[in-house]
Amino acid sequence: MSEKEISQYLSFILRHKPEEINLELNSEGWGNIYELIEKSQPINNTKLTLETIQTIVKNSDKKRFQISDDGLNIRAIQGHSNVNIQRKFTEKTPPEFLYHGTATRFLDSIKKQGLVPKDRQYVHLTECKDTAFSVGTRYGKPQILIINAWQMHDKGFQFYEAENNVWLVKNVPTEFISFSF
């Protein structure tokens, strides 16, 4: 079983479907790490262990998960589609520009409706063009969009920065998107 497979499983449970294993998450997304281990089915015939989860959290380049200071709970940092999870992030002033990676096949839709979170709670943005490019390649031929974040903030849009440096906003209207990158 690879770390990638375990990370994908944790994302599925902690971001989208905790009910699949009857795991209760509080409104901030925290679930008991020992219940997660106990209730999880083996992944490719391998049972989750505390050590495996700690390794995934520590070594993940995307830093998607967080273990509580007391070591008893775990959560996904952002990316939730579960409507019962309403993480409270502190509003923050964004840099002048942020980036969003997508695939060229989505551009017509984005030009019509802007960036919307779809099944997630927020649109995810980054300060790093390379990260945006990497995200875009997951969905097809990549396209990096430049978001005029400072201008959005000036117009009253609220921005948040998650613990893993992902910037979050409820939506991005087309007037703040540059498609020519």
CATH at 52:
1.10.10.970
> Which CATH number does the domain housing residue 114 bear?
3.20.170.30
Specify which residues 32 forms β-bridges with.
73
Q: Do 11 and 65 share a domain, yes or no?
A: yes
- The C-alpha torsion from 101 through 13 and 60 to 37, rounded to 10°, is 180
Asked if 73 and 30 count as a contact pair (C-beta separation under 8 A), the reply is yes
Beta bridge partners of 177: 147
Which of 43, 76, 109 corresponds to the end of one domain? 76
Q: Which of these three, 76, 109, 129, is where a domain ends?
A: 76
Whole-model pTM above 0.85?
no
CA 161/CA 124 separation, integer angstroms: 10
Residues of the chain with pLDDT under 70: 1, 44, 82-83, 181
Name the helix (H) or strand (E) containing 111. helix 107-113
* Residue 89 included in any domain: no
Q: Using alpha carbons, select from 110, 103, 108, 112 the residue that is nearest to residue 144.
A: 103
Number of domains observed in the structure of the chain? 2
pLDDT score at 84: 79
Looking at the fold, whether 71 and 14 belong to one and the same domain comes out as yes
Tell me: the pLDDT tens digits for 88-107?
899 999 999 999 999 999 99
Does some domain include residue 93?
Answer: no
Question: Greatest CA span in the chain, whole angstroms?
Answer: 52
Tokens 């997304």: give the residue.
29
* Domain assignment present for 90: no
Same structural domain for residues 124 and 63? no
Contact status, residue 56 vs residue 3, Cβ threshold 8 Å: yes
Q: Which of 41, 76, 111 is the last residue of a domain?
A: 76
* Domain with 118 in it: 98-178
Task: Give the pLDDT score at 3.
Answer: 84
Task: Answer whether residue 25 is part of any domain.
Answer: yes
The pLDDT value given to residue 83: 63
